[in-house]
Amino acid sequence: MTTTTHTTDDSQEQMSSRIRSFLLRQEVILLIISLLAVMFLAFGSDRFLTTDNLLNQGRLLTEIGLVALSMTFIIITGGIDLSVGSILGLCAIILGVMWDPNGAFALPLEVAVVICLLVGTLAGFVNGLIIVRLGVPPLITTLATLALYRGLAEGISQARSVRGYPEEFYVLGQGEFLGVPTQLWVLLIFCILTAVILSRTIFGRAIYAIGNNELGARFSGVPVGRYKIMIYTFSGFMAAMAAWIFVSRVSTTRSDMGSGLELDAIAAVVLGGTSIFGGSGSIIGTIIGFILIQLLKNGLALSGVTTDGTIVVIGTVLILAILINNFIQRRSGNG
Amino acid sequence: MQKKPILALEHISKNFPGVKALDDVSFSLRAGEVHALLGENGAGKSTLIKIMTGIYRQDIGRILLNGEEIHLHSSAHAQRYGIAAIYQEPMVFPDLNVAENIFIGHTDQGLVVNWGGMYKKAEEILSTLGVSLDVRSQTRGLTLAAQQMVEIAKAISQDVRVLIMDEPTASLSAHEVEQLFALVRVLRDKGVAILFISHRMEEIFQIADHVTIFRDGKRISSYAIEEVQQERLIQDMVGRELEAMFVRDFRAHGDQVLSVRHLSKEGVFDDITFDLHEGEILGFAGLVGARRTDVGLALFGIEPADGGEILLRGKPVHIQSPAHALELKIAYVTEDRRQLGLSLSMSVIANLSLPQLGKYLNLLGLIRRKHEIETAERYRQQLNIRTPSLWQEAGKLSGGNQQKVVLSKWLNTDPQVLILDEPTRGIDVGAKAEVHQIINDLAGKGIAIILISSDLPEVMGMSDRILVMREGRQMGIFKRAGTSREQIISAAMGMAEGEAGA
């Protein structure tokens, strides 16, 4: 047998085809688009490409970033979580109300933070239970809990805002560590964690398998239901983390916090190349996705474009990125 | 009473990749006759129907309607020529009422529906058929039999001349079958040509005027029903002798691995009892609807049984999920490779390791990709999987190679019981022989194998014993030696109880 020559040919072919498919990946295309956008925006305003401005943008994107990371898991399984913005609002209110020295609870701040994280996790767990055990589609479930959790937040807050937190609470949202905003470190840790989970663990592989072919995954012994509950629970936890950071950053608690956040997070994930139909996607893509969205928002604002205009541009970029991706997928599929 | 044929097929051939579905088939239907079509699964009946109704196009051959050649390009087109088909599961629109369903295909009625006229016509059609149904009632609540009546009425409303009935009785009760047959006779007397497909021999003798037997994509024989015996039909269906193509080294069996006692699932299967030993292959034979796959799914924990006992090496087990079955080292290779067996857009490597990822973890709980690749490479060589690269998407491989990936995936779980559900369906002859060789080797290594197969020569050539099922019931277990195909087929069609030997 000519096994040896065979293998050499194979590996060469593999190398070149892998390099080619790497260059054609959505992440790489997106990175190129991002760099072009940065260059373009830098011309629009000389305040854009400064360290101060970029680090400050880092502060602003952390909440969306955290939620987008767990949203990546969900979308890869073919699901969606629309309730994250409402969970964020609910958790922020819980944090404020539990701590409020003039309120009914007046708990220590640490305890209030733990409760805030627990409530978010529970809210996500409830989503997961409804989706898996009752078989309600994720879109419907989280659309319902979007309203439900926001309603709870408003009911609990009674339109009052809580402010006047102690100084040390603001370290997370307004402080720095080694010259970089504190929350960016948190985001970085979660980026690494989720990237490793997704690419190198059984759980991560199972998530792809579920998105690819849920029934097939079940036939391969993957505990589909349990894993799905876990990712929705994780999504709730991440929304609570974002709530904590949000409150610390803006120094106050209001019940409308985080409304619309789910759309930015979903946009970042999809922009990052994760298929809305499930089965493919990556954390690195999502990271580039949420950075690009934030840079566009900021750069356009600095160039004097109004908020409305910015939204239009972001929407256009989103559609363009997906069209380019589809085009390339089809080309490489035929080739 | 030889009339001229309404519909004639001349020298029809149809190939699918790797399979000759129809091979030079000529066949004709006459007005006012019920013509039964008989054949094992995969004999070419479905392909023939699909060609007659315009769903497939033949590669070679002509279709003549009243002596003129026609070219069908869709089932709607076939209906315009008066060729309609009804199936085992009626395809009605459940939210529309009976009359709406009957006239759904009529687009030449103008813009506004003339409700009164439509109800009147619907009632007329139903009354000519001798059927009493409220034309204003929703079809959702109707029985399967009544829904079939609606479908037949729909065909009549379109001036049907050729009506194809594909296993229409499979889900009907005995009384409903009687009603359906009465209706079929009405249609026949009106001069409609009826092509009737059923796996129930007694029905064919009850209703058909002529019968034609298919086997391996060829027309084998045709008879007038009054001049043929049941035995003759079965012989023609079974046909060929056991080919020498089946490699099987028969050895003495090892210890008993699996023992199934009175296994039942409400409304699905009932009282299944068998033993399985190391190195033994137990074939599961039966026709479509015999519920063999459901027994496999129960043993793998997908659809757990609700009665009876499963003993694994003497210990009772209650298998509740595939993950649990995997722990017990039971593996199931599904018949539906593309939907259930593989993640088509994932790589060969990722597909192969999915059920056994736990084997590849390092101390940190991370997957060691190198080991995964090594495993995949090992199986690629062992099972001769032909793929340009192990990173290739599984969906882009040929059927035979996909099946080898599925087999590798389950062999990698080191099973003691391996359930193979139609392991060679839809793969070409060469790959088929390879898969048979692999199955033989696995039995040689002491794996206990259940082989569910609709391919009778395969199941008889590969198995040590054959369990025959029919409509959820176990008809008997036959030893390979000394059992004829006629016996197996008779049992599968419910004509004779097989000697139940353990």
pLDDT in tens, B42-61: 678 888 999 999 988 999 99
- The whole-number pLDDT of residue B242 equals 43
pLDDT score of A134 more than 50: yes
Quick: pLDDT tens for A195-212: 999 999 999 999 999 999
The DSSP-derived string for B181-244 is: HHHHHHHHHTT-EEEEE-S-HHHHHHH-SEEEEEETTEEEEEEEGGG--HHHHHHHHH-SPPPT
Amino acid at B315: K
Residue of A13, A212, A215 lying closest to B340 (CB–CB):
A215
Q: Give chain B positions within 8 Å (CB) of A13.
A: 388-389
Please tell me the distance from the alpha carbon of residue B298 to that of residue B245, in angstroms, as a whole number: 32
Q: What digits encode the pLDDT tens for the residues B325-338?
A: 999 999 999 888 88
CA distance B47 to B23: 11
Print burial letters for B2-40: b (CB count within 10 Å at least 16), e (below 16).
Answer: eeebbbbbbebebeeeebbbbbebebbbbbbbbbbbbbb
pLDDT at A327 over 60: yes
- Residue A79 CA to residue A73 CA, distance in Å, equals 9
Mutate to test the interface with A, among B345, B384, B408 (most CBs of A within 10 A): B345
The two three-digit tokens of residue A218, written as one number: 């079940």
pLDDT recorded at residue A22 = 64
Q: Calculate mean pLDDT across residues B379-389.
A: 89
Which residues from B are below 8 Å from A when comparing CB atoms?
Answer: 300, 302, 321-323, 325-326, 332, 334, 339-346, 350, 353-355, 357-358, 361, 365-367, 388-389, 391, 409
* Contacts A208 to B, Cβ<8 Å: 343, 346, 350
Which of chain B's residues have a Cβ under 8 Å away from the Cβ of A216?
339-343
Q: What are phi and psi of A232, to 5 degrees?
A: -70, -35
Q: What is the DSSP letter of B484?
A: -
pLDDT of residue B310: 95
Residues in CB range of B441: below 8 A, 6 or more apart: none
pLDDT digits (tens, 9 = 90+) for B431-449: 778 889 899 999 999 999 9
List pLDDT tens digits, range A141-168.
999 999 999 999 999 988 888 888 888 8
Which of A17, A202, A209 lies nearest to residue B343, judging by beta carbons? A209
Q: Return d(Cα B187, Cα B34) in angstroms, integer.
A: 10
Highest mean pLDDT among B126-130, B237-241, B487-491: B487-491
Contact call for residues B338 and B344 (beta carbons, < 8 A): yes
- Both tokens assigned to A114: 């733990």
A221 and B302: CB-CB below 8 Å? no
Please tell me the distance from the alpha carbon of residue B292 to that of residue B305, in angstroms, as a whole number.
13
A202 interaction partners in chain B (CB closer than 8 Å): 357-358, 361, 365, 367
**Chain A neighbors of B300, CB-CB under 8 A:** 219
Q: Please, where are the H alpha helices in B158-229?
A: 174-189, 201-207
Percentage of the residues of chain A whose pLDDT score is greater than 70: 90
| Structural domains of chain A in order of their starting residue, each with its CATH number | 49-329 (1.10.3470)
pLDDT reading at B502 higher than 60: no
Rounded to 5 degrees, φ, ψ at B448 are -85, 125
Q: How far apart are the C-alpha atoms of A204 and A193, rounded to whole Å? A: 11
Q: Please name the residue of chain B whose CA is at the shortest distance from the CA of residue A15.
A: B389
Answer whether residue B354 shows pLDDT above 80.
yes
Nearest to A142 by CA among A223, A210, A213, A85: A85
| Inter-chain CB proximity A13 and B322 less than 8 Å | no
Q: With contact defined as beta carbons under 8 Å apart, do B193 and B31 qualify?
A: yes
Q: What is the pLDDT of residue B107?
A: 59
| Residue to test with chain B: of A1, A11, A22, A219, most B Cβ within 10 A | A219
Identify which of A218, A199, A181, A184 has the alpha carbon closest to the alpha carbon of residue A72: A199
Q: What is the pLDDT confidence band of residue A1, given thresholds at 50, 70 and 90?
A: very low
Predicted TM-score (pTM) above 0.90: no
Kindly report the average pLDDT of chain A as a whole number.
87
State residue A18's pLDDT score.
Answer: 63
| Whether A240 contacts A116, CB under 8 Å | yes
Mean pLDDT value of segment A21-29:
69
Whether the per-residue pLDDT at B201 is higher than 60: the answer is yes
Low-confidence winner among A155-159, B369-373, B390-394, B398-402 (lowest mean pLDDT): B398-402
pLDDT at B39 over 70: yes
What pLDDT score was predicted for residue A109? Answer: 92
Q: How far is A186 from chain B (nearest CA, A)?
A: 22
Q: Does the structure show a pLDDT above 70 at A123?
A: yes
What is the average pLDDT value for chain B, to the nearest integer?
86
Provide residues of A within 8 Å CB-CB of chain B.
10, 13-14, 17-18, 196, 200-202, 205-206, 208-209, 212-213, 215-223, 279-280
Radius of gyration of chain A measured on its C-alpha atoms: 21
pLDDT of residue A151: 95
The SS3 assignment for B13 reads strand
User: 3-class SS at B224?
Assistant: strand
Mutate to test the interface with B, among A203, A210, A220 (most CBs of B within 10 A): A220
Confidence label for B456 from pLDDT (cuts 50, 70 and 90) = confident
Q: Which is more confidently placed, A16 or B61? A: B61
Q: How far is CA B291 from the centre of its chain?
A: 10
- In 3D space, the residue among B117, B186, B118, B198 whose CA is nearest the CA of residue B149 turns out to be B186
- Please list, in sequence order, all residues whose beta carbon lies within 8 angstroms of the beta carbon of residue A281, skipping any fewer than 6 positions away: A72, A75, A76, A269, A272, A273, A274, A275
In degrees and rounded to multiples of 5, residue B450 shows phi and psi of -105, 120
**Residue range B5-23, pLDDT digits in tens:** 899 999 999 987 666 789 8
Q: What is the mean pLDDT of residues A43-55?
A: 85
Is the pLDDT score of B470 beyond 80? Answer: yes
Band of pLDDT at residue A7, cut at 50, 70 and 90: very low
Inter-chain residue contact A209 with B334, CB threshold 8 Å: no
Which H helix or E strand runs over B259?
Answer: strand B256-265
B-chain CB neighbours of A218 within 8 Å are 302, 322
Nearest-by-Cβ selection for B366 from A201, A223, A280? A201
pLDDT class for B111, splitting at 50, 70, 90? low
CB within 8 A of A36, min separation 6: which ones?
Answer: none
Please write the tens of the pLDDT for every residue from B208-243.
Answer: 999 999 888 889 999 999 998 887 888 888 765 445
CB atoms inside a 10 Å sphere around CB B145: 19
- In this structure, the number of other CB atoms found within 10 A of the CB of residue B398 comes to 15
Report d(CA A279, CA B347) in Å as an integer.
12
Chain A nearest-CA residue for B409: A220
The Cα–Cα gap between B398 and B400 comes to: 6
Contacts of A281 in chain B (CB under 8 A): none
User: Is the Cβ pair B354, A215 closer than 8 Å?
Assistant: no
pLDDT over 90, % of chain B: 41
- A with B: how many residue pairs have Cβ under 8 Å apart? 78
DSSP state of B3: P
Encode A243-281 in three state secondary structure.
HHHHHHHHCEECCCCCCCHHHHHHHHHHHCCCCCCCCCC
In this complex, do A202 and B339 lie within 8 Å of one another by their Cβ atoms? no
Kindly report the nearest CA distance between residue B367 and chain A, in angstroms. Answer: 5
Residue B109 Cα, gap to closest chain A Cα (Å):
40
Nearest CA in chain B to A201: B366
pLDDT of residue A23: 61
Most confident of A231-235, B229-233, B399-403, B468-472: A231-235
Q: Which domains does chain B have, with CATH numbers?
A: 5-238 (3.40.50.300), 256-492 (3.40.50.300)
Look at A134 and A314; give whichever has higher pLDDT. A134
CB contact under 8 A, A202 and B345: no
Residue B500's pLDDT is 42
Q: Which residue of B has its CA nearest to A198?
A: B366
pLDDT value at position A261?
92
Alpha carbon distance B501, B479 (integer Å): 8
Residues of A in contact with B409 (CB under 8 A): 220
Which region among A62-71, B124-133, B254-263 has the lowest average model confidence (pLDDT)?
B124-133
Q: What is the mean pLDDT of residues A34-52?
A: 84
Closest residue on chain B to A211 (Cα): B343
Most A CBs within 10 A among B366, B371, B405, hence the mutation to make, goes to B366
How far are the Cα atoms of A225, B282, B440 from residue B244, in angstroms, in the given order?
Answer: 47, 20, 14
Tokens of residue A18, six digits = 């892998």
Interchain contact, A14 vs B350, CB within 8 Å: no
Q: Estimate to the nearest angstrom the gap between the alpha carbon of B324 and the chain centroid.
A: 28
Question: In chain B, what residues touch A18 (CB-CB under 8 Å)?
Answer: 391
Answer yes or no: is pLDDT of B291 > 80.
Answer: yes
Task: Considering only residues A269 and B457, tell me which one the structure prediction assigns the higher pLDDT.
Answer: A269
In the predicted structure, residue A265 carries a pLDDT above the cut 90? yes
Say if residues B36 and B208 touch (Cβ distance below 8 Å). Answer: yes
